[in-house]
Structure 1
Amino acid sequence: MLDYRWGVENRMNDELFIDKRDLTEQAYELLKTYILTRKFHPNEKLSIDRLAKLLGVSRTPAKDAVNRLAADGLITVEPRVGSFVTPITAKDIQEIFDLRLLYELYAAEKGFENVTQTEISEMEQIVAQMASCIEGNRYRREEHARFIELDHRLHRFIIDSPQNSRLTRTYDGLGIHLNIARVYYVKELQNAAQGQEEHEAIVQAYRQHDLEALKTVLKQHITGVRDLVLQCVESAGGVL
């Protein structure tokens, strides 16, 4: 069972430093990080006054940040009731990963011939850095954020390979909620070794110029991660 207990008093003791140059942007980024890492719980009510106090800013940048997060789908605003952290359900995860699989398989096939040897070498370097984030069959706690960024970069090589800007923008629409799934995948699951093997197999398929092998391992990897994240949802009581 995932433990969502993380009291307000603990959050208030976190050292959050806001640079006065762009209060709204920084408030947005900090609150987004709190939501992505689930330091704010699913369905938790977020009042403007409370957020302003937490961030050390006035109500205006806090309210503007909440409006942006609502547009991203991370916060749900109920008129005359309040703003709440949007939960992610099993249905959401299924839909997100169905689309991810569709987009990445399409991109892998359409962009296969566009991937250069230099890009393959860059992917190999990313996968090597991923290995340093793993200890045993788990991701090292201090490397969670770094691994998530590396994972994003590796899969963006695939999505960007067809050089289709509309595909890239559409895929990016999954980004925020996909990152929440990545956070739980990295923090809660003990299958780092298998994930690393699959990432290495993805790059090897490019190196060996084997499109069918690439599509096979991509499907195995994405559906495997989906199934594990769905286990997280179930363990967390039905929402992330």
Structure 2
Amino acid sequence: MPDKNHDTMDKNWLAGRLDMKEAIYEKLKDMIMRRDFTPNERIDAAEIAEKFGISRTPVRDALNMLDAEGFIKTVPRQGIYVKGIYRQDLIELFQYREMVELFALDTGFDALIKDLKDISADIHRFETFLISENYDGYQVMDSDIKLHKTIVASTRNKVIMDYYDKVNGHVQMARAYYLQDLQRIKQAHLEHKSFLQALEEGDKEGAKLHLKQHLEQTLANLLTIIDIYKVF
């Protein structure tokens, strides 16, 4: 495991956690999503256990959970590797996102209207992080995730919400690469504001249109990054 990961492997965050397997799973998943591990990088359970100062068992259990969700892959007689995300993967992931988020917006529109203050706060938080002198792309991404999860949560359907979270984690792995593209981030913020305005006006069809366009623009940007940098 490269030295670049040492800071993120600080064992202090484990203090007070009762379910060690779940804690390790959450930590490793977050590191994968943030690209602390790079695509196709080998993950060593023994090394992770040593850095966390714990036994190998909860690490192996956590890796099995990540494997089941498709974040890593086990290659017989070779080891465990972080999965990459490629062009067709992204297209299919965003088709799923569009289907779920537009369905949520359609069925949960009244609930979203009632949550306008929270949605507005999410978008304002996005802007605050965006214009900060100490710009942190991951704070921006977290605000964006919260906004879209609010949309999906309007369904009040736990099955939809749980599956969306699992699928959306893969999207965030790819999005970690464009967080320094301020032009795209600023455009995304304008798209969020247009979506919010449609909600404030009670315009369901307008909100659906703005959300669809936002998802399409995000996908197009990610596909461009793949084509140019071949990073996945």
- Find the aligned partners of 2:61 and 2:156 in 1 and give their Cα distance: 34
Q: Deviation string for 1:36-56 (max 9, x for gaps)? A: 111211111112222222322
Q: Deviation string for 1:138-190 (max 9, x for gaps)? A: x8764323222221221122212233333323322312102213323324453
Q: Deviation string for 1:220-240 (max 9, x for gaps)? A: 10000001111222233252x
Q: Deviation string for 1:122-142 (max 9, x for gaps)? A: 11111111111113xxx8764
- Which of 121, 124, 128 is matched with 1:132 structurally? 128
C-alpha contact 2:9 2:51 (8 A) present in aligned 1: no
Residue of structure 2 equivalent to 1:179: 172
C-alpha contact 2:138 2:179 (8 A) present in aligned 1: no
**2:4 aligned with 1:10, yes or no?**
yes
Counterpart AA for 1:8: P
C-alpha contact 2:119 2:147 (8 A) present in aligned 1: yes
TM-score using structure 2 length: 0.87
CA RMSD of aligned residues (A): 2.3
C-alpha contact 1:74 1:85 (8 A) present in aligned 2: yes
Residue of structure 1 equivalent to 2:87: 90
Residue of structure 2 equivalent to 1:4: none
Counterpart AA for 1:35: I
Q: 1:226 to 1:13 in 2, by over 3 A?
A: closer
Residue of structure 2 equivalent to 1:105: 102
Q: Structure 1 segments of 4 or more deviating over 4 A? A: 139-142
Q: Secondary structure of 1:174's partner? A: helix
Q: Secondary structure of 1:77's partner? A: strand
- Find the aligned partners of 2:127 and 2:147 in 1 and give their Cα distance: 13
C-alpha contact 1:24 1:64 (8 A) present in aligned 2: yes
C-alpha contact 1:188 1:232 (8 A) present in aligned 2: no
Counterpart AA for 1:80: R
Q: Which runs of 5+ in 1 are unaligned?
A: 1-6
Point out the structure with the larger helix share.
Answer: 2
C-alpha contact 2:113 2:202 (8 A) present in aligned 1: no
Identical counterparts, % of pairs: 29
Residue of structure 1 equivalent to 2:215: 222
Q: Which runs of 5+ in 2 are unaligned?
A: none
Q: Report 1:192-231 matches (<5 A).
A: 192-231=185-224
- Find the aligned partners of 1:79 and 1:238 in 2 and give their Cα distance: 25
The number of residues matched between the two structures is 229
